[in-house]
Amino acid sequence: MGGFFGVASGTDCVTDLYYGTDYHSHLGTMRGGLAVWNGTGIDRVIHDITNAQFRSKFDADIDRLSGRNGIGVISDYEDQPLLIGSHLGLYAIVTVGVIRNLDELAAQAFQKRATHFSEMSGGEINPTELVATLINQEATFADGIRRVQETIRGSCSLLLLTREGIYAARDRWGRTPVILGRKDGAWAATFETCAFPNLDYAHVRDLGPGEVVRLTAEGAETLVPPRAEMRVCAFLWVYYGYPASTYEGRNVEDMRNRSGALLALRERIEVDAVAGIPDSGVGHGLGYAAEAGVPYRRPFVKYTPTWPRSFMPQNQKVRDLVARMKLIPVPELIHGKRILFCEDSIVRGTQLRDTIRRLFEAGAREVHMRPACPPLMHGCPFLNFSRSKSEFDLIARRIVREMEGHDGEPPAAYCDPDTPQYREMLSRIGETLGLSSVLYQRLDDMASAIGLPLSRLCTYCWNRCG
């Protein structure tokens, strides 16, 4: 994944830019970058944040940066922001998304012969540089951004820092958010609205799908109007969005509380405590506990000072180690207890299986799991929030393969919670993970908790509707 923050101000913007970008640190752990227009050109700094927090790497830089307009990014892959010189003028660019036809678009660019790519890592073209190449083929920034949105397969939201201000654009289908805020003398564009309150920005509005605006200290000018159709990623609310953030008028933590309550309404089970797998399962667990009238407890406490997010490292062994080390069991809240856990999702199940084993070793009588979304059946072609290399890394897809005896597309019955095939799949998932029971959130209940119709949500990873 990744996230960005941009500021157009009548005074120096660096402090707001620094802290606004930092509020996106939960979305990536590889690279961080800032770029500021200093009046005559662009000052830029990029740091590796793999083993350090964003603030600790950039703290010394903010004293030497100054300017009224700036953009910042937390990136999970390539170096950003990039500085680009073109017939459109000098600009800096940051992107969030994924380009699935990158090789095809690069080959088309090479046919023009004058095109080259300099930002290469591991022999791969930097996707953000490819986006800049597409932009540079048009007569204006707005037309260039429109070309990007119409050409790439995948998704791309972006910010451009130029002499004229900051261009902000949301993905053509609105899969990721771009949200505007303002305060006296400044406008900002952000992925996460949680960056606004402590910097005194008021939430103005969400950009629509494919919309392009130019920000200055005076306001936001729409250059490309929004499209009517939207497919915003439902996983924003279920998992990777920050609890204090709001997208399309729907707050993440509020959604998770409603999600947990809807899970509880679907069943009546005798347990001694409800818990949430930290951190993204906590909101769901609190909602479940409140609706079920069962005490909420923390049988696992998350150690946050030094251990980063477990899904980020490329190596599975490292991911598993991080997942284990950051969760510390509290035996006094586990021994002899029947515990129901809420979790955002079950992806591979490898880390969860170890967690369940540790609970039983600590004396748990029963361990029940309630994921806050349906079983994941397909890899996401639009965003990069999973390290799965194959759809058969997904535990639900592996179980379906075992039941069907082939690698083909899973029959629709496995996505319908009212069928025998679905119930048998859940039973086998529970046995594989060592659970006393497992019950997933229904797709219609998930959409209800979000508060948007399914036709406005991307649910591709569950049912290929995106």
pLDDT, tens digit, for every residue of 157-197?
999 999 999 999 999 999 999 999 999 999 999 999 999 99
Q: Which of 31-40, 76-85, 230-239, 282-291 has the lowest mean pLDDT?
A: 76-85
- In this predicted structure, the answer to whether residue 268 has a pLDDT above a threshold of 80 is yes
pLDDT, tens digit, for every residue of 422-462?
999 999 999 999 999 999 999 999 999 999 999 999 999 99
Q: Which of 240-254, 325-339, 352-366, 373-387 has the lowest mean pLDDT?
A: 373-387
Give the C-alpha separation, 466 to 462, whole Å: 10
- In this predicted structure, the answer to whether residue 311 has a pLDDT above a threshold of 50 is no
Give the C-alpha separation, 26 to 312, whole Å: 10
Provide the β-strand partners of residue 297.
none
CATH topology classification for 2-229: Glutamine Phosphoribosylpyrophosphate, subunit 1, domain 1 (3.60.20)
Backbone angles phi, psi at 340, to 5 degrees: -110, 125
Tokens coding 12? 């120096």
Apex 325 CA angle, 324 and 327, nearest 5: 70
The answer to whether the CB of 144 falls within 8 A of the CB of 88 is yes
Give start-end residues of each CATH 3.40.50.2020 domain in the chain. Answer: 250-463
| Mean pLDDT, residues 271-287 taken together | 95
Give the C-alpha separation, 388 to 371, whole Å: 19
Give start-end residues of each CATH 3.60.20.10 domain in the chain. Answer: 2-229
Give the C-alpha separation, 182 to 184, whole Å: 7
- Of the candidate CATH numbers 3.30.70.270, 3.40.50.2020, 3.20.20.140, 3.30.870.10, the domain formed by 250-463 belongs to 3.40.50.2020
Burial of 324 (0-12, 13-18, 19+ CB in 10 A): middle
pLDDT band at 313 (very low <50, low <70, confident <90, very high): very low
- Say how many C-beta atoms besides its own lie within 10 A of residue 403's C-beta: 14
Average pLDDT, the chain: 92
Residues composing the chain: 466
- DSSP structure string for 145-156: HHHHHHH-SEEE
The answer to whether the CB of 326 falls within 8 A of the CB of 307 is yes
Residues 6+ apart with CB under 8 A from 33: 44, 45, 46, 47, 72, 73, 75, 79, 80, 81, 94
Of 466 and 234, the structure prediction assigns the larger pLDDT to: 234
**What amino acid occupies position 78?**
E
**What amino acid occupies position 369?**
M
Q: Is 410 left (phi over 0), alpha (psi -120 to 50) or beta?
A: beta
- In this predicted structure, the answer to whether residue 341 has a pLDDT above a threshold of 80 is yes
